[in-house]
Amino acid sequence: MAKIDLVKAVTELEEDLVIEAVNGQLADGVAAVDILGQLQEGMEGVGKLYEAGDYYLSELIMSAEVFSNAAALLGSALAAGGDKKAIGTVILGTVKDDIHDIGKNIVSTILNCNGFKVVDIGVDAPIESFIDAVKTHNPDVVGMFCLLTTAFDVMKETVAAVKDTGTKATVLVGGGPVDENVAKWCSADGYCKNAYDAVEMSRKASGAI
């Protein structure tokens, strides 16, 4: 029986093959951290296809689900082997008056699979929640989501409040109606068009690249 190429299976969103390959490698004694590395490499392939326009939002959502289900199989094995040190810490939240979470959840999953510790403070998050998370976790990045133009004002207020804490964290914003101009208006440090922008900017903010 031919050996399953786990990286290729993830990139091609073949969930059944991914699960079979992960279970097979675990049974063969492959280190969980090495299997996780293959899953991450596959997700990088998904990211490249998304950037090239070959994959769309539906594939991005599916890839996050495939990764999450496969990574769940590694949970106890990773814990037994000791957690790898996170590249950096990212706080994510959808700003107050906005309850959309799909974009945030995708970004959270993809940041996780790229080695970041993610602190998700949820949706409709008041300014105080962002401030408390910044003080508690001393993050490298604070990411804010907004899918309603009516919530732009509160996003601007939230950016200002976070910066007023004196944090050195990079503040990033994103979401359907958000663009570079909105990011500048909010005084954010950057605008993320998609999850892979978030990964790239978070790597820079944490000194990983």
31 has pLDDT over 90: no
Quote the domain boundaries for residue 44.
6-81
- As given in the structure block, the two tokens for residue 183 are 């990011």
Q: Within a domain: residue 1? A: no
Residue 182: which pLDDT band, with cuts at 50, 70 and 90? very high
Interatomic CA distance for residues 115 and 113, integer angstroms = 5
Interatomic CA distance for residues 181 and 35, integer angstroms = 41
Q: What is the mean pLDDT of residues 19-28?
A: 93
Greater confidence, 33 or 182?
182
Q: Are residues 93 and 30 in the same domain?
A: no
- Give the chain's domain count: 2
Q: Are residues 99 and 170 in the same domain?
A: yes
Q: Are residues 141 and 179 in the same domain?
A: yes
1 has pLDDT over 90: no
Q: How far is CA 93 from CA 107, 180, 207, in A?
A: 11, 19, 22
pLDDT in tens, 49-64: 987 899 988 888 888 8
